[in-house]
Amino acid sequence: MPTFKARLIDITTGEKTVILHEDDAKDMVVRVNERVKLKKEINKIVALIDISNTVVCKGEVGIYEDLLSEFPVKDGDLVEIQPASTPTSVEYIRKKMAGAPLVKGEIYSIVKDTISHSLSQLEIAAFLMAQHYVGMNMDETEQLTRAIVETGRTIDFGETVVDKHSIGGVPGNKVTLIIVPIVAQAGLKIPKTSSRAITSPSGTADTMEVLAPVNFTVDELKKMVVDVGGYIAWGGSLNLAPADDLFIKVEHPLSIDPKSQMMASIMAKKMAVGTSAMVLDIPTGKGAKVEDFESARRLGNDFIELGNRLGIKVRCGITYGNQPVGHTVGPALEAKEALETLLGKGPNSLIEKSTSLAGMLLEMNGIAGKNNGQALAKDILRSGKAYRKMQEIIEHQGGNPDIKPDEIPLGEKRFIIPAPADGYVSSISNSAINAIARAAGAPTNKGAGVKLYAKMGYAVKKDDPVLEIYAENEQKLKCAQIIASRKQPFLIEGMLLEELPGF
């Protein structure tokens, strides 16, 4: 077996990868993205190959940071290397690409090899593209969900827990910050493990982090469930579904979200925390992930069937998704609006959506009678009990329970876009609002985002403020202004859209 001198490379790639010199690769008859087995004393590992004639010298092997936890070596150590075979799971990926269904063992093999970094990102991308274009039946989706759970960590809270989830796609969806305290105040246990933003201006964890820390250990989360009935935390450090995190990492640059993968992703994370009942929010409308009611109904019924197979009661709410939820988009702006709503001052659309979804959970779990859930949720909200429960949650998560909405710091660099004409707001572009808020710095800059003064159906006069951009620095504000001028975030009935000069 050929021996090489290790050269450590202080770069993390997200894959188990080594670099060989071009001449050494030719001698071993291996190519880029093929595999080699590395051996040093009792330690062995299989890695993918990069090839260079400048990064390493002939007789050296470049070893990225990713390998060191499993294959500890130092600069100059001698490492034995030989070609390695391709994992069997690659054959199963090809099978799926050809349109054939996969069985339990084949799906488990793909998931296991994904979390062990035995598959390259190209191979994972092929699996996701096969799901996107070929699809998976319900049996496959169930096995994919179970494989993601079985290869990750689970949490046993020791009692019945419930959850609410949204498939996303609509900016400003801060309803979780209202639903969790309502449901917890009603006596249910709702450990809400949320994500950070991937392509949106703010994930639920980003918004909650404005009010309190969101990164906790499992033991800390268990204590919060006992003490206050729920929490709103970030799930990224819990290792609940590591395969899903790796799939999402590849999905993002491809701009795809295969239905089977989305369903498995959501349900695996619910299974991992022992959820017994879940309400699923399916925003529907132009610019949302699901654009028509019939598709939303089909998706909802599929989730209900998958939930039945997995032992989770699922109820779906098809909600209005033609424009942002509430009037704000961006972490601090959304946290401010959520607190205002808990204090009884929020927009009616946000109150209606939050209480309708919370009410569904109350009905499913016998806290409210049929068709009385929303009324009870509204009572809890209007009485101030939900706000006081949110104060408890914030305090237990290490935040200031007495913070007032006006005390939340917002971006100081601001720009107002006025109505160009009298009329009614006829449409709001979700994608444009997302792009503007992200250009302004959200979610990285917590104070960045967009405030909508007028939404669809609102009457406006020429020069009335319609939209305000918030940023934390002047350059980001200018970038957001440029995006706003290009993407037409709103339309007003009767406004001139563009003038084409004649000759």
Q: CATH number for 3-84: choose from 2.30.30.90, 2.40.40.20, 3.40.50.720, 2.40.30.170.
A: 2.40.40.20
How much is the pLDDT for 270? 95
- Overall average pLDDT of the 30-45 stretch: 93
pLDDT of 495 over the 70 cut? no
- Overall average pLDDT of the 347-365 stretch: 96
Note the pLDDT tens digit of each residue in 298-337.
999 999 999 999 999 999 999 999 999 999 999 999 999 9
Q: Which CATH class, in words, describes the domain spanning 410-492?
A: alpha beta
Q: Which residue has the higher pLDDT, 338 or 196?
A: 338
How much is the pLDDT for 257? 87
- Overall average pLDDT of the 425-433 stretch: 95
How much is the pLDDT for 248? 87
pLDDT of 363 over the 70 cut? yes
Query: In the numeric block, which tokens belong to residue 418?
Result: 């006025």
May I ask the CATH architecture of the domain 88-135? Answer: Up-down Bundle (1.20)
Compute CA 196 distance to the chain's CA centroid, rounded to the nearest angstrom.
6
Q: Which CATH class, in words, describes the domain spanning 161-235+270-396?
A: alpha beta
How much is the pLDDT for 168? 86
pLDDT band at 286 (very low <50, low <70, confident <90, very high): confident
- Determine whether 257 is an active site residue: yes
Domain boundaries, the chain: 3-84, 88-135, 161-235+270-396, 410-492
By CB atoms closer than 10 A (0-12, 13-18, 19+), residue 99 is: exposed
Letter for the amino acid at 174?
K
How much is the pLDDT for 169? 84
pLDDT band at 490 (very low <50, low <70, confident <90, very high): very high
How much is the pLDDT for 499? 63
pLDDT of 150 over the 80 cut? yes
Query: In the numeric block, which tokens belong to residue 7?
Result: 């050269």
Cα distance between residue 470 and residue 335, in whole Å: 14
Q: Could you say which of 163, 244, 257, 281 is catalytic? A: 257
Cα distance between residue 312 and residue 161, in whole Å: 11
Note the pLDDT tens digit of each residue in 228-270.
999 999 988 788 889 998 998 898 888 888 999 999 999 999 9
Cα distance between residue 20 and residue 109, in whole Å: 28
Evaluate whether 260 touches 142 at the Cβ level (below 8 Å). Answer: no
Mean predicted lDDT score pLDDT of the chain: 94
Query: In the numeric block, which tokens belong to residue 158?
Result: 């020791």
Note the pLDDT tens digit of each residue in 90-127.
999 999 999 999 999 999 999 999 998 889 999 999 99
pLDDT of 175 over the 80 cut? yes
